[in-house]
Every structure is written in C-alpha cells, then in structure tokens.
Amino acid sequence: MGSMSFILHVDADAFFASVEQALNPTLKGRAVIVGGGDRGVVSAASYEARTFGVHSAMPMAQARRLCPHAVFLVPHFHAYKEFSSRMFAIMADYSPLVEATSVDEGYVDLTGTLKLHKASPWEVAHRTLEHIRSTLDINVSGGVAATKTWAKMATGLAKPNGLLYLEPTRTLSVLGMLPANSIPGVGKKAEKILAAEGIRTVGDVACANKERMNRLLGQWGSKLVDMATGNDAR
C-alpha cells in the first residue's frame, strides 16, 4: 500500500427528491420533482422523473409538460440540511478527514483505513455508503481512487446508487474514453475550445502538451493535464 492515497467521493443521488422520498415512503418509485412554483426551476428530479428528460435547472413549466404525472413539491431546505449533516456525520465515523464540497457531496480520505478499521479502503467505502443508505434511506453513489478528481469521475460512472473503485494503474484505461467535460470544472466554453483543437476525451487531455494547454486555457490548462493524469495530488 505504501504512500498510496485512497480518496472516497460521496454524492447523494437526486438529493432533495431522495430526501422527500425518505420522509414520505409513498413517493418511492414515483417521479418526484422538487422546485419553485411554475415560474421557478427544478431543484431536483428523482431518477424516475429523469427518464422523461427532466433535469435540475430546467424551467418548472417545461418539467410539467414532460412529466405531468409527477409529484411536484416545494423545497424543504431545513430537512435537506438535517439529512446533509447526518450524512457527513456518518462519513466522519469512518475517517477523521472529511471535506464537504456541497450540501450533498464531499470527500473522505480512506488512506489510513487498513490501520484504523482493519479493512481495505474498498471495504470501508462500501460500509460507509451502506451506512448512509440504511440510516437515512436515501440513494448515494461513490467513487474510490488515488485523487479527488479521479474519485469524483468514478462516482459519475457509478451513478445511480453504485460504488466504483479505480485501481491507480488502470484508472486511465477506464476514464480515458470519457468526454473531456467529465473532468470537474470543464464547462461548455472550455469543452468547445478543446474540441476545436481535437482534444475531446479525458485521454486526449492526459496526453496533451502542458504549454499548448496553457495557450488554450491559461494557467488552468496545465492543471487540467495534472487532473487527468492523477498528478494533482489532491
């Protein structure tokens, strides 16, 4: 194991909708859309609603057209905050190093778990997610990898409600074919600039020349190469 890092990224699936289903079990398995009134936007859509094309930040009027049979709810932020703090408290049971990046996602450093829990990081990650699912009755996904960037990308592949462990030596063969916008922080603008240069996948970014990337995206360009190759040491 040496000095290798094991980072778990945890992300609650369709968090607001998932909490509403936990609070009202009759909503389980149904399309649930949480958001402001008809003039507002969708805050969260359950996976049942997503199959109809509904997604967060979509105008509520459009969501009603796409999925008229859904249950529409106004957000209960106090409940989401409560579930969030309970989720992070569970994560802290498994490692002293927990970082919350938003109300529904964060990172856990599992590097020392072999000593602490007499179990592999993969096993501890599995226990952490199962503990959250069984205690809070919400769906949650996770990714375990050597860096935070890779762990977050692994979670993206594990959704919904799964867990993916990326072995460091095989990480790029798994992530390399993903589109470049799978790298956290690569938005539409950066994606367009890269695509115009033939840089379309994570593998393309990993192989790119850092000076060329800096010319395209400023100093963030070379940082992107580090993120893709796992040299960001976060």
Residues carrying an active site annotation: 105
Cβ contacts of 20-26, under 8 Å, gap ≥ 24:
20/73, 20/76, 20/79, 21/46, 21/137, 21/138, 22/83, 22/136, 22/137, 22/138, 23/76, 23/79, 25/137
Residue 73's SS3 state is strand
- What does the alpha-carbon distance between residue 35 and residue 199 come to, in Å, rounded to a whole number? 36
Residues in the chain: 234
- What does the alpha-carbon distance between residue 81 and residue 200 come to, in Å, rounded to a whole number? 37
- What does the alpha-carbon distance between residue 6 and residue 62 come to, in Å, rounded to a whole number? 42
